[in-house]
């Protein structure tokens, strides 16, 4: 059944996979840069969109992630982080998203010396104010980063446990996938599971099915972020289906990073028809120049 964009905007929606630092408003980046006396590499919104690659094709996931250096440069103080969190929820609520799970890695917001707890508190405060204003509910997923040492993931897992029942609902592992295996971060996920916390994990996006295997069998992931290459391993595909493990699919992002070569070759429809539990999500509203309504419309 085809869905019109207008219909997609009107229906209640969820977004379970969206990165805070990839979903800023362009004008907010300029305003924060001016307030903070942060020098941006360009002077206009058009140039910044071009530099960030908003909606364009990239060579790889690693290439796609370069734009985050710019967004993170203005997200290094409490008020900026709080504002960005509030605005992401506001933008989501305005397209009738009713439940949003926002993810980010606090360790990437410490360039000016902010404590990890202050960074989490800033996001919690921003989400709380947005929930008071709009008809939406939210949850926070804290991310370890594959290409930063596993000890930092353990610290972030401990932080996740510290904020259990305070707005933080799960732990994730994000970042550059190839050459940074999830199994190296097993200790962090062991801690999470011992605390009866939920965990998701980016896997099968920029690397093959073995990445998904590690996420499930070394780290105990309850959901898989992307999972685009799951189709390449039938045994693993059946395992995911038998255990009803959801995939967090991000169509636009997957095409941009070449996780899928084209819309026609994206495995989303194959997974859906196979019986896999699939969800559609934005990933990065700014970098992918998308909305949840647009992802449903696609």
Residues 186-197: pLDDT tens digits?
Answer: 999 999 999 999
Give, for 30, the enclosing helix (H) or strand (E): helix 26-36
Say whether pLDDT at 3 is over 80. Answer: no
User: Which residues are tagged catalytic?
Assistant: 205
Give the span between the Cα atoms of 97 and 108, in whole angstroms: 27
Rounding to the nearest 10 degrees, give the CA dihedral for residues 259, 169, 27, 255. Answer: 10
Say whether pLDDT at 23 is over 90. Answer: yes
What is the reported pLDDT for 60? 83
Say whether pLDDT at 289 is over 90. Answer: yes
Give, for 169, the enclosing helix (H) or strand (E): strand 168-174
199 has which bridge partners?
A: 171
User: How many domains are contained in the chain?
Assistant: 1
Question: Do 187 and 154 form a contact (C-beta atoms < 8 A)?
Answer: yes
Q: What is the 3-state secondary structure (H, E, C) of 83-111?
A: HHHHHHHHHHHCCCEEEEEEEECHHHHCC
Give the span between the Cα atoms of 68 and 112, in whole angstroms: 17
Mean pLDDT computed over 89-95: 99
Q: Which range, 45-54, 74-83, 170-179, has the best average confidence (pLDDT)?
A: 74-83
Q: pLDDT by residue (tens digit) across 158-187? A: 999 999 999 999 999 999 888 999 999 999
Q: pLDDT by residue (tens digit) across 114-123? A: 999 999 999 9
Give the span between the Cα atoms of 280 and 264, in whole angstroms: 16
67 backbone dihedrals φ, ψ, rounded to 5°: -65, -20
pTM: 0.96
**Residue range(s) defining the domain that contains residue 115:** 5-297
Give the span between the Cα atoms of 185 and 163, in whole angstroms: 20
Percent of the chain scored above 90 by pLDDT? 87
Q: On the CB side of 123, how many CA atoms lie within 13 Å of its CA?
A: 28
Say whether pLDDT at 61 is over 90. Answer: no
Closest residue by Cα to residue 200 from 260, 246, 159, 268? 246
CATH of residue 202's domain is 3.20.20.140
Count of Cβ atoms closer than 10 Å to residue 27 Cβ: 11
Strand order across the beta sheet in which 223-226 lies: 13-19, 97-104, 137-145, 168-174, 198-203, 223-226, 247-249, 278-280
What is the reported pLDDT for 1? 56
Percent of the chain scored above 70 by pLDDT? 99
């Amino acid at each position: 059944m085809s869905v019109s964009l207008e219909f997609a905007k009107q229906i209640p929606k969820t977004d379970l996979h969206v990165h805070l630092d990839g979903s800023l408003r362009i004008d907010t980046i300029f305003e924060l840069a001016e307030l903070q006396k942060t020098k941006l590499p360009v002077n206009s919104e058009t140039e910044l969109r071009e530099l960030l690659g908003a909606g364009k094709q990239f060579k790889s996931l690693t290439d796609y992630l370069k734009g985050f250096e710019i967004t993170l440069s203005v997200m290094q103080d409490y008020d900026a982080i709080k504002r960005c969190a509030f605005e992401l929820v506001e933008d989501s609520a305005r397209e009738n998203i009713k439940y949003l799970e926002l993810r980010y890695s606090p360790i990437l917001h410490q360039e000016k010396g902010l404590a990890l707890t202050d960074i989490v508190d800033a996001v919690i405060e921003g989400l709380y104010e947005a929930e008071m204003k709009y008809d939406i509910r939210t949850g926070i997923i804290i991310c370890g980063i594959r290409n930063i040492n596993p000890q930092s993931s353990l610290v972030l897992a401990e932080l996740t446990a510290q904020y259990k029942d305070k707005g933080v609902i799960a732990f994730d592992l994000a970042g550059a996938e190839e050459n940074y295996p999830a199994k190296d971060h097993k200790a962090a996920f062991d801690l999470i599971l011992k605390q009866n916390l939920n965990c998701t994990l980016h896997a099968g996006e920029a690397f093959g099915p073995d990445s998904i295997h590690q996420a499930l069998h070394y780290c105990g992931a309850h959901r898989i972020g992307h999972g685009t290459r799951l189709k390449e391993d039938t045994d693993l595909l059946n395992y995911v289906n038998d255990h009803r493990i959801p995939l967090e699919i991000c169509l636009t992002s997957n095409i941009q990073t070449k996780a899928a070569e084209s819309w026609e070759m994206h495995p989303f429809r194959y997974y859906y028809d196979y019986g896999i539990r699939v969800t559609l999500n934005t990933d990065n509203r700014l970098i992918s120049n998308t909305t949840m309504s647009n992802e449903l419309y696609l």
